Structure 1
Amino acid sequence: MSAFVDEHMVRLRDSTQLAELVDPPADASHARVRALLDAMYTMDFAAVRGVSDLKVRRTECQRPVFLSRRTTGAWFQTTPAYTRTELALERHDLLTPLWVDLSAEIDLTLLLEIDGGEVEAIVMREITEVTSLEDFRSRFRFLDLDAFMRQHRITTVEELREVSQYLLAEIHLRTGGPFDPHDPANLHPYELRLAILLRDTVDVASILRDAKMACAAVGSAIVAKAPGEAEIRTPYAPVVLLPAAVANGGPVTRSALELFFAAEGVLALFV
């Protein structure tokens, strides 16, 4: 272990300092928390309007993560009667664990604006009096007309009109009222699980492999329950902590590294 790894492992074992790293007091937009939420959850129908009450519930230094190996197969028997048995064997390699330098479980409250997707009306009408192929195409914006015509061996608008009856259905969603940030119903408890790796040098490929492997291994052993407004991408969001000095003067800039890791679902922090 290097001095950097030792120092920050001891420092972040303190819940207050870890909370300040994840959600710096000066960051009114909660950019890091939002990045971690994006890494851990998919929220297609909810927008985060605020973050509050962030508390570190549990931490563990040098958490071993054991890779699982799965073997599947089938057992056949032909006499005295035919039988078939499915076999699945899963085992863990206890001799060569991956080490997560610091794992953390964090509770927080999110102010969410949720789109309930309520339907106001469904309208269905027949499409008639089609004058041209372009006219038909303009009415069905999500239909690949060229593929449809090839499939049914249609070449003219006349054949298109004769081959079938065309119905267009429209689903109108109900427009929600104005969002009230003071309504307690818009406050939702959430959880962040972090797998933090401490590295004192920049080796992009090695760091990315370690982060993804650790999260995959931890995720296979954890059954995480998703809130009703979100789906879980990964049970643990990966975070990589690096010294700020290693990005100065290197072949890849600090901002480029941050963007690269963010695109891979990893939060890279230079401290």
Structure 2
Amino acid sequence: MLRSRFSQCSRIVASTSAAPLTACLHTSAALQATSARRRKQVVAEKKIAERRIEKQRLEELNRPHVVLGSRPGDDAKWSNCDLAKVLISEEQISSAPKPTVDPSGQLLLPEILNFGVGATEKEMLFETLPTLSAEFKTERAPVYKMQEEAVKAEAQELHKASTLATLLDLRNANAGGIAFANRQRIVAAFSEPGKPNDTGRPEVQAALVTYTIRKLWDHLSRMKKDVASRRNLRRLVHQRAKILKYLKRIDRDRYENVLQRLGLEPESVEGELVV
């Protein structure tokens, strides 16, 4: 029993004598301690990182749309550009006046006829042919009825011309007919004055591609699961950028002018484009 008491006392003495030694050798507080200079440096680095993230966020918000080419909230850039003014929409076609005959007997034709009917065809269908038909009918009539037949023939030809104009009105065309008319207007507006139908001109090609991109974007805003159209949209965006970069290499002034006419920002066609 005495031996057990001695062993307990020795363990107590050993434990109490080792406690101060371990306390002196403990270094966790020293490791956690940092200088005031280092703390200031850490705070400054955090602020710099926060400012960098905020700057990147603002740049992303102000970056022009890759497809539409304008900055967020800047819808006036598209509505005021030359391409938007050239295009005609279905609403404008439906609100346009229908072909009518005025009280003086003059046929009022619609502003735009269906695709395939240009200025030459319009003159032939509504001026030349009615006049020739009325003269032919008058010449075949007896002499004493020539004046009466002439008036009758003119009224008949005017009625025929009015019916034909109603049929050839662009409001009777489908989406393909309206797109064809818009492409004709784009080619005429963006060609050189001396070359009215120069479809190989870079400005004309960029305008036609931009028009197709706008149509696809409107379609995808309604049909979000159309994967094939989304792939075509991505291809057209890069094709437009390729055309405009080529124009930038050969003539910087023409490049800047066509960007303004198409309502595009330079950032929407330069650099990496993620669609």
TM-score bracket for this pair, using the shorter chain length: under 0.3
Structure with higher helix content: 2
Q: TM-score, normalised by structure 2?
A: 0.22
Structure with higher strand content: 1
Q: TM-score, normalised by structure 1?
A: 0.23
- Larger-gyration structure (1/2): 2
